[in-house]
Chain A
């Protein structure tokens, strides 16, 4: 595994860690959840469209099939 992901390494307890850039952390998680929920909605819409199509096909075929 190489560098750029900046794999977190040792954690020296005595070094005080600067608390910066919380906005970026929040943004990252927010974007992730936006993607998860957004795609979930897309999935539901696709399913509804598919079901509607099956329904209309069935009814066009005369209820049965």
Chain B
């Protein structure tokens, strides 16, 4: 199997997942709505004071993404389990990591779309004006999202096929997410405040290392997760 074959498989899995998701629609709407709802709840919990809202904005955004995103990952495997499609999927000869990579891309697109709604809503609700360093902000969001979706897609391969999957996924995933949460929130906050007294660069490097480490690890050991 050449790299081209693998890439074709990755693309096929991603396109198939996204097409199915687009046709069923309800999933994306529901998950996005949940994200916005979490933001609202944060607003109520933090009180109407503009200053405290603004300070908590990045943290609230990331928790909203985490809580809504975690619902997306099990869905991605539910698609395979519903009609017994996982069996033929696993029976195609060739690499299995490409299945993971395809689902990862599809989930990235899905969570990215959720963020596309949730983040602007958060900016409005929490009185945050678009920062000057918006490009860097996008980069931080992307890095954090990659780390989150990588491990989310990975652990969902287990949790979706085990008993009580709803509990198991966040239980496995959230402790692993602490560096992502810290890195993304700190980097965003420091960029929002014009990098005063803070070093966004260190956090961005940390996120980068995290993404590379877990992307490589997940691709390497996915075979073990799906094998039996």
Q: Give yes or no for direct A-B contact (beta carbon below 8 Å).
A: no
Interface residues, chain A, with chain B CB atoms under 8 Å away: none
